[in-house]
Structure 1
Amino acid sequence: MSSSSSMSRRVFLQGMALAGVMGAMTFRPLRAAATPATETAPGRAQQAPLFPQAPLMQQPFALLPTGSIKASGWLMRQLRIQAGGLGGHLDEFWPIVGPDSGWSGGKGESWEDGPYFLDGLVPLAWQLDSPQLKAKAMRFIDWTLDHPWENGMFGPRSNDDWWPRMVMLKVLTQYHELTGDARVVPLMTRYFHYQLQALPARPLRDWGRMRWQDELLSVLWLYQRTNDARLIELAHLLKQQGYDWQGMFAHFPFTQKTDAEALRKQAGGSDAFMQDLGLQVHGVNVAQSLKASPVWSVVSGQATDRDAVHHQLQMLDTYHGLPNGMFSADEHLAGRSPSQGTELCTVVETMFSLELALAFTGDAALGDRLERIAFNALPGALTDDMWAHQYNQQPNQVECSLHREPWTTDGPESNLFGLEPNFRCCTANFHQGWPKFANSLWMATADQGLAAMSYAPCAVTTTVRGIAVVVEQSSDYPFRQSVSISLKPQHAVAFPLRLRIPAWSRGTRIAVNGMPVETTPGFTTIERTWAPGDTIEVVFNAEVIVEHGYNGALSFSRGALVYALPIEENWVEWRKRGPTHDWQVYPGSRWNVGIKPDVPVKVSEYAIGEKPFAGAAAAVKLSLQGQYVPAWKASEGSADPVPAHAEASADEDVQSLTLVPYAGAKLRITAFPALG
């Protein structure tokens, strides 16, 4: 244990005493039988989801156990691309998660990167039912479960930070839902009991203090399985020591770009205050905070806690919102200019927070936001083969090269595509984005039904009111606007089925076995007895929407997709990094165009390629006209902020423009100056 993080003698003795008590404890076994560690337990995919019981507050939806939903169609292709890229091979050449990782018994990296990597590798491996990927995951999981500390701690002994264990707990909960491994619950119980004793003398700090809600998820997960009252005590202690995100957003002080100089001025010379202030505006912390109030509401029982996420999102949209559904954070909150960026870690953590907040609040609008991020910001920061990623992505991204501007705190590699540009956290952490999205497509309802929360091709295997049910969903959404759902219960069973209706869809049409169903905003509920072979057809109405943003800039969306003007890309290899490369990308065409707000737009649809979001064969294109704006230029490799008053060139004709889905253009303009 390092000297900077060692426990006091009193806490050490408490831990040793607790270890003796733990050794004598008999833990209540789970209902599911234990299975070999690398196998999926038979029938585990048919588990009924668990809802909070008293004294916890009920929630409208609950995620199905990990493994209940299997991707298909284009989403399965996307997962296979991830496995064929960094997601499936990172440990083979990146020492951070290689054989010497502290999380598999080595002397290498022992902080957050190993757990981050597993947080995406575990759901990916079981989604693909890949023996190779499962074996990679088990190297870490077996070591972690088989080498607990004597006092109840677990993980590398060279690091006793609470934060990386918060991530590893999320890994273990997913793994247990997939396998029923009997080692998980005792290890988590011992750890939480130890932590309850240790936290008063060694409280949460730094990252753990800001991210306490991520551990609360695992505490509540275990409580639902053991009813251990001490876990509720721990939940209250985590809340007490954790940062008050709800209070910060209630009087939101960060209404402009927060650069390092501004932070120093606000700090008033106090190093401790400076550090805390930097953590408050750190994009990943903010992304993870979006789940804090909804998750805590299960313990507090307060609707005000449950609904606080809406105000948080409103503040972020108002002062830092971007057209791709994200907020700027490169890596601190950076204002509304679409030339500012967003860290990829922030994207995937926002997605995970929204998936949970959607379950805890039941607000369909969070599903709209989740889809916009998943179908735009997530693939937009990755190469089409997922062998390289960006640390920061920009909606208006005209060059990816070595420049210090316009980042608030990051370095010149910030928007390069590569193995670990700027900082390595995203290299390990981005893998959770697609697999967890797939696992959240459908949820259980509190009245013992099912709900379609997001739309993508998949198959659901679960239990509803004691009956095994399979739901198959086929669709090319979001590239197309129709969804087909087939229900296959073991035998006829009555239950409510809810379909999320996106706010952008006016005149959505739903039919059950060919008979029309009346739709309602938010969620449409269909209550009936479902028989094998019943079908549901859903057709959304996606019109092109012109959105007004920073300085009146115009952005174009249609359904869940945002569209951008692709700039010709010249990829230049900067350095080789094992089987991948770090790349700079330079523009080969003009980009500084403005568009009139009332411009007519034509929509054209094309075949959906093997790489769904690849710009070279875009599945949907928008055609419209614009004019060059000579005064709008670039400096330090970034487009200047969109001008509020743009004047078109008097010497050039109107230009025909073709916009493609945001993620298909790695150099792009997403927010255009408004002409006239």
Structure 2
Amino acid sequence: MKLDSRWNCVWIAAVGFDGLRGVMAQDEGLVPMTFEPLPLGSIKPAGWLKDQLQLSADGLAGHEHDFYDYVAHSTWLGGTKEYSNLREGFPYWFNGLVPLAYLLDDSRLLDQVRSAADYVLGHQQDDGWLGPEKGNERNFWGRMPFFLGLMNMADADKTYERKIMDALWKSSGLMNSMLRDNYTGYHYHDGDKVGQGDEQWGRVRVQDMLITLQWMYEFHSDSHNATQLWETMDLLIKGSLNWADWYNAETYIKQDLNTLPVSITEPLFPYTHGVNVGQGLKAPAVFRRHTHNTSLIRTTQDAVSWTFQHHASASGAILADERLAGLAPYYGSETCTLVETMFSLSYLYQALGDNTYADLCEKIAYNAFPVQMSKDWWARQYVSQPNQPYSENLTKTPFWNVNSWGQTYGLETDYPCCTVNHGQGYPKFAAAMFVQVPDSGGHAHALLGPGSVTLDDGTSIACTTTYPFSNTLTYTITSPTALNFYMRIPAWTLPNSTLLFPSTNTSHPVSPDPYSGLHAVSLPPGPSTFSLTLSNPGIRVEQRANDTVAIHYGALVFALALPYIATSSPPKAYGGGGNEGLPEGYAPEEARDWVMRSEGEWRWGVDVRTLEVHYGGDMEGGEVWGKVWISGRGCEIEWGVLGGGDGEEGVPDVPPTGGERRCVGGVGEVRLEPLGGAKVHVLDIPVVELD
């Protein structure tokens, strides 16, 4: 996140809201998860998804430890480099690289996370503080992503479990004493180095700390002070900022925040900051585990529904070019927001079991997120726009707090948080693909994609598929005992999806649970093989604002794909508006900043009646985005640029509507491709009717 003095003056009351913070007696314990996550390392990605993870390992995320100042030379590792006094760069990176390393079992990445953990744990301060801060420099926020990484590492690597748990217990004891001392390290006090207002990051994101503490309480508290840990969670909840106050019909802002006066929007900034929103979607469900407040289920439903209805694109990207905006297709969505939203939605499906959350998680993972990464994963965008026919230095921007380079691809175009945080996206998604179903003792394929899981009892489950680029998933399962296995059926499917069992040459219709989307199969001991074919309803047309549409086919969202010319340059530093180059030799040769400009016209209207789906080429491998496409017919239309100009000064405005929309050029063929591969694109497509 960025730090700005405009935001340091406004905070909503933080204590005393009993609806969210009701303290539950410890003997009630934590509310169980609907589906239990499996330990990191038990799930392995396969197919095209593994290829993308390998590209990330071979790309920027996998090399930041080698050169990137805010990781390699972070104060967490004995260096002097930070991009803010919150010291979040290294924790963000660690939180993403741990699952990437263990998913791929990559020795180079494992060496990185182990050496980083060894250094930080080996330099734990005498009073228990983990991190480089001393005295009034201390603030809990930076520990939240770092502790999530430690939690995953302890699950994945038994050689580190004891060392990590000893450090976390010592640190949590200190946390308890600091919280009891007038919320030291959590609320602002005179003289704190983390300035007034900047303490909000930890208070509004505390759910990430609670996830680690709840895991400690459930699985590692037998011989430790569980009572103190419970009190620590109480104090964190009581001292936090209240998401339930924001997700209230009388408070929540459904209109475009950029149309409202500052006097209304500024006091609400902690709840309208895009990354906070992505992280905060799971907050009520995390708190509910502790408070047993069932009203927080409805709060979660409202949070997700309102966010994606009023402040998100058709791809599932929350439109917040730092702060929440509206639905205009020129607003941006931050890469950090995407990966945090994916993690929140996967958590919500595990916690509450609502199929809606898994569908949304897949939508972002398979559409919004990959378009913001370069094909080689050596560059990322700070923000991407639904309608982005060029990715270049803009003279005029529509963004609330993004510089003119923000929608280009690069090492640290605009703020560095997306450089260090993007790495958690696919690893955490892949690590949540399979879950345990406690009620039946079975297991489920929750987030669909190619991968496998091996369980402690010797059961192995493997799914071979090119989903979401096709709709058939083949399962090979071996179990020493009878097994209840579940597959999640997305809500976009028709009700006639089928299972085919080749051993008996029989097929069966699926009948998923209407809430969770799970369909159960009872399997005998031994090997079993069967295929699930999801019934695809064909092209689905979503109505968007301004007489535009978004095109869906299966789990994919399609955009008008524009041919483009890409040029690169050495990476620029984020400071000074992003116009100054980094020192020569600072970054590997592969790290480049990219400008992409479409070669042809982008002002197209499309007749949706003419759309047809096509497949071609090998569906395996890393270059999957162009293997399915949609053809159609359209025409060039009049379509202005926001603020005027010829297109080189700004970004596309909303298109003309109704009778003002007309063809100004001949009819031609258009090609729509999955958004994930269409780096320059038009997602909200104007509709025309051709004769």
* TM-score normalised by length of structure 2: 0.84
Asked whether 1:473 is paired with 2:463, we answer yes
Find the residue that maps to 1:335 and give its secondary structure.
Answer: coil
Distance 2:634 2:37 in 1: 45
Match of 1:627 in 2: 635
1:238-387 mapped onto 2 (5 Å cutoff): 238-251=236-249, 252-259=251-258, 262=260, 264-266=262-264, 274=266, 277-387=268-378
Match of 1:485 in 2: 475
Distance 2:46 2:308 in 1: 33
Does the 8 Å contact 2:319/2:325 carry over to 1? yes
Gaps of 5+ in 2: 1-25, 188-198, 572-581
1:593-672 mapped onto 2 (5 Å cutoff): 593-608=604-619, 610-614=621-625, 618-633=626-641, 635=647, 636-645=649-658, 647=660, 649-650=662-663, 652-672=665-685
Shift of 1:456: 1.4
Shift of 1:169: 0.6
The alignment yields a C-alpha RMSD, in angstroms, of 2.1
Asked whether 1:141 is paired with 2:117, we answer yes
Distance 1:633 1:198 in 2: 53
Task: Give, as a single letter, the amino acid of the residue that structure 2 aligns with 1:573.
Answer: S
Asked whether 1:167 is paired with 2:145, we answer yes
Asked whether 1:509 is paired with 2:509, we answer no
Match of 1:544 in 2: 539
Asked whether 1:193 is paired with 2:173, we answer yes
Match of 1:459 in 2: 452
Task: Give, as a single letter, the amino acid of the residue that structure 1 aligns with 2:473.
Answer: V
Match of 2:79 in 1: 106
Change beyond 3 A, Cα 1:331–1:486: same
Change beyond 3 A, Cα 1:351–1:656: same
Find the residue that maps to 1:484 and give its secondary structure.
Answer: strand
1:423-442 mapped onto 2 (5 Å cutoff): 423-442=415-434
Shift of 1:263: 5.8
Distance 2:233 2:636 in 1: 57
Distance 2:639 2:155 in 1: 57
Shift of 1:632: 4.2
Asked whether 1:525 is paired with 2:527, we answer no
What is the percentage of aligned positions where both structures have the same residue? 28
Change beyond 3 A, Cα 1:651–1:292: closer
Gaps of 5+ in 1: 1-51, 268-273
Distance 1:430 1:286 in 2: 16
Shift of 1:446: 1.6
Match of 2:22 in 1: none
Give the aligned length: 608
Find the residue that maps to 2:391 and give its secondary structure.
Answer: coil
Asked whether 1:220 is paired with 2:219, we answer no
Change beyond 3 A, Cα 1:288–1:650: closer
Distance 2:74 2:426 in 1: 24
Shift of 1:482: 0.3
Give the counterpart of 2:563 among 565, 568, 584.
Answer: 568
Shift of 1:194: 1.4
* Post-superposition CA distance 1:293-327 (Å, at most 9, x none): 11112112233213422211211122212011122
Shift of 1:244: 0.9
Asked whether 1:588 is paired with 2:588, we answer no
Change beyond 3 A, Cα 1:53–1:104: farther
Shift of 1:613: 4.5
Shift of 1:523: 2.7
Task: Give, as a single letter, the amino acid of the residue that structure 2 aligns with 1:628.
Answer: E
Task: Give, as a single letter, the amino acid of the residue that structure 2 aligns with 1:152.
Answer: G
Task: Give, as a single letter, the amino acid of the residue that structure 2 aligns with 1:487.
Answer: I
Task: Give, as a single letter, the amino acid of the residue that structure 1 aligns with 2:559.
Answer: A
Shift of 1:488: 1.1
Distance 1:429 1:72 in 2: 23
Task: Give, as a single letter, the amino acid of the residue that structure 1 aligns with 2:452.
Answer: A
Does the 8 Å contact 2:402/2:414 carry over to 1? yes
Find the residue that maps to 1:151 and give its secondary structure.
Answer: coil
Change beyond 3 A, Cα 1:619–1:657: same
